Amino acid sequence: MALLERQRRLLDFTLSSLLRRKGKNGALVAVYALTIFLLASVLFFGESLRREASIILADAPSLVVQRMMAGRHELIPDSYADQVRSIRGVRSVKPRLWGYYYDPLSGANYTIVTSEERKNGTIAIGSGVASTRKLAVDDVLPLRASKGDTMLFTVAEVLSEESALASADLMIVTPADFREFFAMPAGFATDLIVDSGNPRECSTIAEKIAIRLPDTRPIVREEILRTYDAIFGLRSGMVLAVLACAVIAFLIFAWDKATGLSAEERAEIGILKAVGWDTSDVLLMKFWEGTVISVTAFLAGTALAYAHVFLAGASLFEPALKGWSVIYPAFRPTPVFDPAQIVTIFFLTVVPYIAVTVVPVWRAATIDPDAVMRT
Amino acid sequence: MKRFSFMIILVLLASSSFAAGQVPAKPSHADKCPVCGMFVYKYPDWTASLRLADGTTLYFDGAKDLFAFLFDASRYRPGTAVGDIKDIFVKDYYSLSPVDGRTAWYVAGSDVFGPMGRELIPFAKESDAREFRKDHGGLAPLPFSGVTPATLQALK
């Protein structure tokens, strides 16, 4: 109990001494909190993008085969599907139809995919399409087909927002409507999705496809995952590079504040020692001072970052981290709370700060009080 | 998933080597391989199983351990004789569906590894096994009766 009481009194003393230098300490906490805010925002946002991507890719096919012509993606003939089907280890091959549609009205690119389970003349749209075109279920959406005529689609469903990033710009129609809309010849598909019975055989099947159908490009799901990871990694890397400057500025600031004890502070330590404080008391007092400042900044910074990313939609980084389509004016990342990230931020900021503040104080506190006060 | 299990049933019905509709049960989280002691449910792609005359099912994390058991049953499960074994199931490498272990073909020494390292890879058809050898190497495919303790010794 006595020990706790001692700590409480020390903390009490520390707080009042911090309050005596309001301006300086206030500025320190503000800069500190800003740095933590930036760091935490990048981490939160990167993580939520990765989470979105994993939702997208959970149902991704294990192998996609695209036909290439002169280095560009081409329509793939149905006969290719039969050839792929004959490869051992392939359980099923499905031709897939999908494409992009540029909508001049909203200036956005939509992704159109097909599903056999829909009815001709109906369309399912993502939340982004619904909000930019102000559509609800049973409304009619006119779209300009490839041949110049207008096709009317009745909205049958607005897709849920489980992953807004993935489905916001999506439109789902039937294969027949798709062919008519884009004037795509029969007997061709956009690409093939291959289901291998054994996931271990995927790369072997991909190799065989590349040999038997030299004008195709087989894409294994792991490659797609790696690409997504690299893109998100690169994008958060760009922000991190900018952030690095902020971190270094903060480090210089903290180092200056922490290592170069001002004459006033040294005198204070000398007086405390002269009135009977132990070296350990001084160290504890300074430890509490560092803890109060960094924990305050840490809590403020992380809370602000959480609000920024998940409530304000990471408005500061949006251009750097996303920006692949204009459809996402109101992209709200799905809130994720990962304790490991919080601990990472804590150990990157709070612990080093406390460490650097204690060392110089220990040096000052071990010197004879008389000598300290004279300097 | 429904369609998948339907497909398995179709495959099973089509295969004449099966006694009508005998699908091996799935291992529970408590089932351990009697040979190596590993939990079997973690490796569904490799699960092999034996059904004894009294109705108990034993699960193995690969055909290699199943054969190890067959060659020395009383050592791994005292009181069990080879004569007590009714059905043997292994997972076909390409389709990952269970097939009759007695009519399956096995390839040893390939570059495909199971949870216990080098493995005997089971196939429903001999032609599948031969094709597999072209891609992944290994020794000549063996029928059920061709697998001997020496085959297993070479996989250690």
Number of H helices, E strands in chain B: 5, 9
What single-letter DSSP state applies at residue B109? S
Q: What are the DSSP calls for A250-315, one per residue?
A: HHHHHHHHHHS--HHHHHHHHHHHHTT--HHHHHHHHHHHHHHHHHHHHHHHHHHHHIIIIIS--T
Which two tokens mark A183? 């004037």
pLDDT bracket for residue B107 (50, 70, 90): very high
Q: Distance from CA of residue B19 to its chain's centroid?
A: 17
What b/e string do you get for A154-176 counting C-beta neighbours within 10 Å, with b at 16 or more? ebbebbeeebbbbbbbbbbbbbe
Q: Strand pairing of A72-74 and B117-118?
A: unpaired
In the chain, the amino acid numbered A160 is S
Q: What is the pLDDT of residue B12?
A: 41
For A204, nearest residue in chain B (alpha carbons): B135
Q: What is the pLDDT of residue A81?
A: 92
pLDDT bracket for residue B19 (50, 70, 90): very low
How close A207 gets to chain B, by Cα (Å)?
A: 10
Asked whether the predicted pLDDT for residue B5 surpasses 60, the reply is no
Q: What is the pLDDT of residue A322?
A: 55
Tens-place pLDDT, residues A162-172: 655 667 788 99
Residues in A closer than 8 angstroms to B132, CB to CB, are: 88
Residue ranges per structural domain of chain B: 26-155
A197 vs B96, B132, B135: nearest CB: B96
What single-letter DSSP state applies at residue A163? T
Across the interface, whether the CB atoms of B136 and A204 are under 8 A apart is answered: yes
Helices A279-306 & A339-366 angle (0-180, nearest 10) = 150
Dist CA A251 CA A247 (whole Å): 6
User: For chain B, how big is the Rg over CA atoms in Å?
Assistant: 15
Domains and CATH numbers, chain A: 2-57+227-374 (no CATH), 63-219 (2.40.40.20)
Q: What is the pLDDT of residue A280?
A: 83
Optimal mutation site among A200, A205, A207, A211, interface B, most CBs of chain B within 10 A: A200
Residues of chain A whose pLDDT is less than 50?
A: 323-329
The residue written with tokens 């049953």 in the block is B73
Q: What is the pLDDT of residue A236?
A: 67
Residues in B closer than 8 angstroms to A88, CB to CB, are: 94, 128, 131-132
Q: Distance from CA of residue B107 to its chain's centroid?
A: 12
What's the ipTM? 0.72
B128 vs A88, A91, A199: nearest CB: A88
Q: What is the pLDDT of residue B6?
A: 45
Across the interface, whether the CB atoms of A88 and B136 are under 8 A apart is answered: no
Q: What is the pLDDT of residue A321?
A: 55
Q: What is the pLDDT of residue A328?
A: 46
How close B126 gets to chain A, by Cα (Å)?
A: 13
For B136, nearest residue in chain A (alpha carbons): A204
Q: What is the pLDDT of residue B15?
A: 40
Tens-place pLDDT, residues A12-36: 888 888 888 888 888 888 888 888 8
